[in-house]
Amino acid sequence: MARRYVSRHSGTFDGVRLEYTAIVEGLRVRDVNGAGIGRSYTTSYLADEPSVDRPITFVFNGGPGVSSVWLHLGGIGPFLAAIPTALETGILPPYGLAPSTSSLLGSSDLVFIDPINTGYGRVDAGADTGPVDGVDGDADHVADVIRRWLERHGRLGARVFLLGESYGTIRAAVVATRLLGSDNAIAVEGVAMLGQVLNAQETTQRPGNVIGFVAAVPLLAVTASYHGLGGYTDLAVDELAEQAHDWSIGRYASAIMQGTALPEAELRSVAEELSRYTGLPVAALVRCRLRVNKEDFRRELLADRGLVLGLTDARYTVAAVPPGGSEPQFEAAGLRLDAAFVAAAQRHFTQNLGVPASKRYRLADNRTHERWNYQESAAVAEFGGSPLPSPFALFDYAAHLRAYLRAVPQARLFIGTGHYDTLTTVGSARNLLAQNDLPADRITSLTFPAGHMMYTDPRSAEMLGAGLRDFIAGPR
């Protein structure tokens, strides 16, 4: 077993003073034959003398290949990276680290999981990561971490929640069914998903995929309004998003479904309405036949100001590369946030949790995404059993949610989405709920005036923290 780093702390959460222990510890990762691959790590925050029914929430981000730091130091853990609240503020230090007022620690013990090759986790020299580089292997790996953590800490039988963000929402759904269906079954009480991507296959903006363009309209509308464009700048963000959604699944969907058969007069009429939502010129919308690509939108909305919108949070902007220029183009939100989280992670783990400064915390392994197998074994058998990628493959990650909620009638689901998130949009989340016959009475769905990393916005952090605490408390 890798070395454990144990430290003692106290803080005030939900108005109650709490004494707790923090533990950073490693777990060996092995393939199905028992051969070592490397290590993953967990960082746990455990209240002293917990009650019998005190829950444990296992928290992870996505990527694939991203550490848990964005949720860990974004507000869910007891400390957070204190970033400027003014979005136009620069990125130079000093970077702050402060107690989190939105942490879940007052309601639940917390275990942040850094999968292999993220955080302090590493791959053994010469080891093959193939067994964990995909939907199935990753779910087995993370389910094994959860099971072994519960065994190691004597908490089998505790109330368990899963909280995943971005690709971590796919992981959470699959892990919930893996844990329930294993030989050593564990029933998960609730799954919380932030920036869900389970239906990415249905909502990706490919030329013939109409749903992808329909689902994007609320994002386009609130983003245009935020930057002072479009015809609805007087509406609050929630009101505008709702109005844009209703219009997009009605008038807009009917028009865009007709494709080239749409009469020219109606094409122009719908383009004028779409222009009021998106802030884009009517002529441009006619030329693209109403299909607004989110990447084009990021580059074009503020082109006359020389700015490009952020990918993970469309409120942020960065100067566009001049025409003919060859310099790198940075992502606006990451440009403001990444350096602060790197510094905050180093400070927190070394000064607060006692991890030696010589150990480097890795926020992400970008190469993991390049190796990832997104196809599940369960989806392969649907069309002839070929294990190779195929246009007929299912990618039905939402099937795990349906199965989990059907099998555990008391289980609950939380979905949180940022209005300005261009990656995992509010429209996509609504489409997931509309198309999968999930039990509405067991679902909490919240939206926030933030982007993909919702906890980087203080107001959203408070809203989200309160919503998650209520979700964990549940109707007991």
Q: Nearest Cα to 306, choosing from 324, 318, 292?
A: 318
Q: Which of 264, 287, 310 is the last residue of a domain?
A: 287
AA identity, residue 461? A
* Same-domain status, 17 and 100: yes
Taking the C-alpha atoms of residue 60 and residue 110, their distance in angstroms, rounded to an integer, is 11
Least confident of 123-132, 278-287, 314-323, 467-476: 123-132
* Same-domain status, 65 and 154: yes
**Within a domain: 301:** no
The pLDDT value recorded for residue 1 is: 41
Q: How many domains does the chain have?
A: 2
* Same-domain status, 65 and 165: yes
pLDDT bucket at 23, cuts 50 / 70 / 90: very high
Average pLDDT over residues 442-471: 88
What CATH number corresponds to the domain at position 443? 3.40.50.1820
* Same-domain status, 35 and 159: yes
Per DSSP, what are the bridge partners of residue 44?
23, 111
The mean predicted confidence, pLDDT, of the chain is: 90
264 pLDDT higher than 50: yes
Contacts of 17 (CB under 8 A, 6+ apart): 10, 11
CB atoms within 10 A of CB 457: 24
pLDDT bucket at 118, cuts 50 / 70 / 90: very high
Burial tier of 116 (Cβ tally within 10 Å: 0-12, 13-18, 19+): buried
**Within a domain: 346:** yes
* Same-domain status, 107 and 168: yes
* More reliable by pLDDT, 182 or 217: 217
* Same-domain status, 107 and 231: no
The pLDDT value recorded for residue 50 is: 67
The pLDDT value recorded for residue 476 is: 57
Q: The tokens 């296959």 sit on which residue?
A: 201
251 pLDDT higher than 50: yes
**Within a domain: 296:** no
Q: Which of 287, 315, 349 is the last residue of a domain?
A: 287
* Same-domain status, 356 and 447: yes
pLDDT in tens, 382-399: 555 566 667 777 788 999
**Within a domain: 320:** no
The pLDDT value recorded for residue 383 is: 58
* Same-domain status, 177 and 231: no
309 pLDDT higher than 70: yes
13 pLDDT higher than 80: yes
* Same-domain status, 185 and 222: no
Terminal-residue alpha carbon distance, the chain: 38
Could you please report the per-residue DSSP string of 170-211?
A: HHHHHHHHHHHHSSS----SEEEEES--TTHHHHS--TT-HH
* Parent domain of 240: 209-287
* Same-domain status, 46 and 120: yes
Helix 264-278, helix 210-226: angle, nearest 10: 40
**Within a domain: 297:** no
* Cα dist from 252 to 188, 208, 247, 259, 400, whole Å: 40, 15, 6, 11, 31
**Within a domain: 308:** no
Per DSSP, what are the bridge partners of residue 216?
none
The pLDDT value recorded for residue 236 is: 97
* Same-domain status, 165 and 33: yes
Q: Which of 266, 287, 308 is the last residue of a domain?
A: 287
Structure tokens at 122: 């590493």
**Within a domain: 330:** no
* Residue 374, H or E segment: none
Specify whether the CB–CB gap between 24 and 126 falls below 8 A.
Answer: no
Taking the C-alpha atoms of residue 77 and residue 50, their distance in angstroms, rounded to an integer, is 17
* Same-domain status, 343 and 444: yes
**Within a domain: 307:** no
456 pLDDT higher than 80: no
Q: What whole-number percentage of the chain has pLDDT above 90?
A: 68
DSSP state of 362: B
